[in-house]
A and B are shown apart, each in its own frame.
Chain A
Amino acid sequence: MSDFERFVHTFFNLEVAAKYWPDLLKGLGVTAGVGVLVAITGLLFGVVLAVLRAMQFRPLSLLIIAFADIMRALPPLVLMIVFFFAFPLIGMPMNAFTTVWLALSLVLAAYAEESVWGGILALPRGQSEAARSTGLNWWQTMTAVILPQAFRIAVPPLTNRVIAISKNVALGSVVALNEVLNEAQSASSNSGNPTPLTMAAAAYLLLFIPILYAARRLETRWQWKV
Chain B
Amino acid sequence: MDALLRNFFNIDVFIQVFPYLLQGLFTTLWLSALVIPLGLVGGLAVALLGTQSESRWIRFLVAAYVDIFRALPPLVLLIFIYFGTPFLGLDIPKLLAVALGFLLNNSSYYGEVFRAGLLSVPQGQMEAARSTGLTRMQALAYVIVPQATRNVLPDLVGNSIEVVKLTTIASVVALPELLRVARDAQALLFNPSPVVLAALIYLALLWPLVRWLSRLEHKNMTAK
Contacts and interface: CB of A to CB of B under 8 A. Distances in A.
Interface of A: 7, 10-11, 69-70, 72-79, 81-82, 85-86, 89-91, 114, 118, 121-122, 163-164, 167-171, 173-174, 181, 185, 188, 193-194, 197-198, 200-201, 204-205, 207-209, 211-212
B2 to A, nearest CB: 10
Nearest to B77: A201
Q: Main SS of chain B's interface residues?
A: helix
Contacts of A90: 3-4, 7-8
A198 B79 contact: no
Contact of B7 (A86, A171, A181, A197): A86
A181 B73 contact: yes
A82 B195 CA distance: 7
Interface string B62-93: 00000110111101110110011001100000
A167 B73 contact: yes
Contact of A205 (B72, B166, B206): B72
Contact of B202 (A7, A75, A208, A212): A75
Nearest to A171: B75
B183 A209 contact: no
B195 A85 contact: yes
B151 interface: no
A173 B168 contact: no
- Top 4 nearest A-B pairs by Cβ distance? A86-B192, A208-B71, A170-B73, A75-B165
Interface of B: 3-4, 7-8, 67-68, 70-73, 75-77, 79-80, 83-84, 87-88, 161-162, 165-169, 171-172, 179, 183, 186, 192, 195-196, 198-199, 202-203, 205-207, 209-211, 214, 217-218, 221
B168 A75 contact: yes
Q: Main SS of chain A's interface residues?
A: helix
Nearest to B164: A75
Given A86-B195, A174-B172, A91 B80 contact: no
A204 B199 CA distance: 29
Contacts of A163: 70
Contact of B198 (A78, A171, A174, A193): A78
A69 B215 CA distance: 12
8 contacts: A72-B161, A73-B202, A73-B210, A75-B165, A89-B3, A90-B3, A171-B73, A188-B83
Contacts of A211: 71
B87 A74 contact: no
A58 to B, nearest CB: 17
A69 B211 contact: yes
B156 to A, nearest CB: 14
Contact of B71 (A121, A198, A209): A209
Residue of B179, B195, B210, B211 most packed against chain A (CB within 10 A): B210
Given A73-B206, A78-B202, A85-B195, A204 B168 contact: no
Contacts of B79: 181, 185, 197
Contacts of B73: 167-171, 181, 204
Contacts of A174: 172
B109 to A, nearest CB: 9
A74 B73 CA distance: 18
B3 A76 contact: no
A163 B68 CA distance: 13
Contacts of B166: 75
Contacts of A75: 165-168, 179, 202
A76 B186 CA distance: 18
